[in-house]
Amino acid sequence: MSKFELNAEKITKVFGRRLIFKDVDFACKENGIYGISGPNGSGKSTFLKIITGIISPTKGKLTHSFEGKIIEAEQLHNFVGYVAPYVILYDEFSAVENIHFFSKIRGITFTQEKFDFLFQHFGLFDRKDDLVKGYSSGMKQRLKFIFALIHSPKILFFDEPTSNLDNSGKEKVYQTVKEESRDNIVIIASNEDSDLALCSSVLELQNFKIEKR
Amino acid sequence: MSAYALFKKDLASEIRTRYAVNSLIMFIVVTISVILFSIGNEKISDFLSGGLFWVVIFFSAMSGLSRAFVSEEERGTTLTLQLIASPTTIFSGKLFFNLILVFAMNIIIALLYSALFNSFVLKNFHLFLYAFILGNIGIAIASTLIASIIAKASSKGTLYPVLSFPILLPLMLTLIDLTKQAMDGTTFQSSYVELAILGCYDVVMIAASFMLFDFIWKD
Amino acid sequence: MIWKIFLFVLLAFVSIAGITFPIVAQPAHWYEFPLIMGLGENAKIIFFHVPTAWLTVIAFFMSTVYSVKYLRNKDLVDDIKAHTSAQLGMVFCILATITGAVWAKFAWGSYWSWDPRQTSIFALLLIYGALFALRSAVEVEEKRAALSSVYSIIAFVTVPFFIFIMPRIMRGLHPGSADDTNAGTVVNFKMNGNMLLIFFLSLIGFTILYYWMWYVGYKSMLYKEKLNKQYH
């Protein structure tokens, strides 16, 4: 029984003269893994940003609620974990410093246990004190997962989660996705079949319809 | 406090990279030098030196205060910030950083200025001090808000002074007037209205900024 | 159609009356204006300078009102209305500055003397200029509308500081400011009845003209937008 609910009704987005998608309905009322797929340029990232509350839709209604109460945009950030290629971390700081600053700015405390666990799980424990400037793209991707999970969010948005990752990295991500989906909502936007294979339902943006698996 | 944590992050970033501090200090030195060279051996009146003081302050502010938002936008970390804090927190944190920066810059400018310009003599120092404090707060608030606006536009460097000047103008005019009065040795009583104007400006700008920032920040 | 004719007649009357009615020491007929010391024939500029200044402020106010509306509804039509207001405001601001400078030359001897009201109108000119500079620097429509709305509102908030506070505090030459002892009749509305009538008619006429220009302006911009926008 999910405590967090996302409801998007008739979401339409227009950029200038270009219509990206029209009247998309998307609802997550239960824990689990939801997928969003579509060819390049179909608006997957845009849709994801809209349902996260980062950008506004041109038309449509979006509600986030937790335990029955509606969550306003200003409070949403600590419920949400977000991983995407266009999320950038501060490369003049080390991984540890990044996570520490973010947690303080979020206003949450984390246990050292969780911290250590995440760094171990994603294989960055040995490099945690190195500046992000020196990280490979795969390491940055893994750090983004730590960034998205450290504050125990209720809803996770992963845009191209396995990009830049080697097989072991991908395994770790899939493990995390399955783990998190037990108590939380996980939404994956991707073109990779292996990513989408995890999802119980996939929204095909090109056609604006949901295919149930 | 989240906003304070954001300030600490910016401060740590600044200490580690020293992007802003170096160039800002040089900018201040260069601006004052340009003025000194333009004046040459001419003697300038008190009023003129008082006015030029605020010119240096204005352009130094334009040089340094946009960094708060522009650096985030240029590196792509705006999204990161949007994911971890509410707009109010972001603005508070950036404002606090700019406040500290404005006071630091302007104290340096004031010290350099009084050392280099003989006609810059303040008979009523307390009046100047109050004006200085209230004025700096106003400059910080307005500049931070405008910085957040231009961060989202192109040609940020040239646009920043263009947008800031009209907004800062009432403040600057009052400050220049108060500086002149401080040099003349006017009493507190007669300058009360001007100080009240500064206070009003600060209050109005901060209220307006917090209300409007959401619209700037969120797409 | 009728009110356009009415407007034409009104403005024609005001312009002719304003320019041709003679100024004599002892007005005997209804079409003559009294002589005001120090101003002479130049007093007539009041019929044109004050309305332009009045309109530029109205335009700015309207621009801000529609900016607030836009921020609440995100309806781009409100942004177009605000932008049209700003364009007209800019035009009238330039006119007000020029007519003001001309009057200044005749009344005080120089075109520009940084009198508070002159400074204020110049500041308004800078605000308009900044607004247009901002608009041309943002490509995305919604962002452009949001940013210029915010800037309009912030600029509007600084306006009271200029208009009300500055002239009270600073010494100035403008009629109505702290130091002004002469030219009181003009501003204290102790204007002779005829002059007052023509003055108010001018004000009303120009205001209607402004509204009409604004209406035509924003409608044409709307249609242009609609023509350009095709979803694909």
Which phi and psi angles does C170 have, rounded to 5°?
-90, 150
Claim: this prediction has a pTM higher than 0.80: yes
pLDDT at B139 over 60: yes
Are B2 and A55 inside 8 Å of each other by CB? no
pLDDT at C179 over 50: no
Sheet holding A18-28, edge to edge: A18-28, A4-15, A59-66, A69-70
Q: What mean pLDDT, rounded, does chain C reach?
A: 81
Closest CA to A27 of A148, A153, A187, A181: A187
- Residues of chain C found within 8 Å of residue B153, distances taken between Cβ atoms: 134, 137-138, 147
Cβ atoms B208, C159 nearer than 8 A = no
Of the partner residues B5, B79, B93, the one whose CB lies closest to the CB of residue A87: B79
Of A143-147, B142-146, C6-10, least confident by mean pLDDT is: C6-10
Query: In angstroms, rounded to a whole number, what is the distance separating the alpha carbons of residues B191 and B87?
Result: 37
- Residues of chain B found within 8 Å of residue A101, distances taken between Cβ atoms: 5, 8-9, 12
Are C140 and A14 inside 8 Å of each other by CB? no
Shortest distance between the Cα of C139 and any Cα of chain A, in A, equals 9
* pLDDT for the residue C49: 87
Mean pLDDT, residues B186-199: 85
Query: In angstroms, rounded to a whole number, what is the distance separating the alpha carbons of residues C175 and B114?
Result: 38
Mean pLDDT, residues A93-113: 92
Q: Is C165 on the interface with B (CB under 8 A)?
A: yes
- Residues of chain C found within 8 Å of residue A56, distances taken between Cβ atoms: 74
pLDDT at A5 over 80: yes
For the stretch A34-73, what's the b/e string if a residue is b when 16 or more beta carbons lie within 10 angstroms of its beta carbon? bbbbbeeebbbbbbbbbbbbbbbbbebebebebeeeebee
- Residues of chain A found within 8 Å of residue C74, distances taken between Cβ atoms: 56
* pLDDT for the residue B5: 95
Q: What is the pLDDT of residues A69-83, one digit of tens each?
A: 999 988 999 999 999
pLDDT at C231 over 80: no
* pLDDT for the residue A211: 42
> Per CATH, the architecture of A4-212 is what?
3-Layer(aba) Sandwich (3.40)
User: Which residue did the predictor score with more confidence, C195 or A179?
Assistant: A179
Size of interface A-C (CB pairs under 8 A): 14
| Number of structural domains in chain B | 1
Show the domain range for B195: 2-217
Of the partner residues B146, B153, B212, the one whose CB lies closest to the CB of residue C138: B153
Q: For a pLDDT cut of 70, what percent of chain B falls above it?
A: 100
Locate the chain C residue with the closest alpha carbon to A13.
Answer: C231
User: What ipTM was assigned to the predicted interfaces of this complex?
Assistant: 0.93
Q: What is the pLDDT of residues B143-188, one digit of tens each?
A: 999 999 999 998 888 999 999 999 999 899 889 888 988 888 878 8
* pLDDT for the residue C60: 95
Tokens 């231009």 found at: B150
* pLDDT for the residue C167: 59
Q: Is B193 on the interface with C (CB under 8 A)?
A: yes
Of B19-23, C11-15, C179-183, least confident by mean pLDDT is: C179-183
List the structure tokens of C224.
């242009």
Are B80 and A88 inside 8 Å of each other by CB? yes
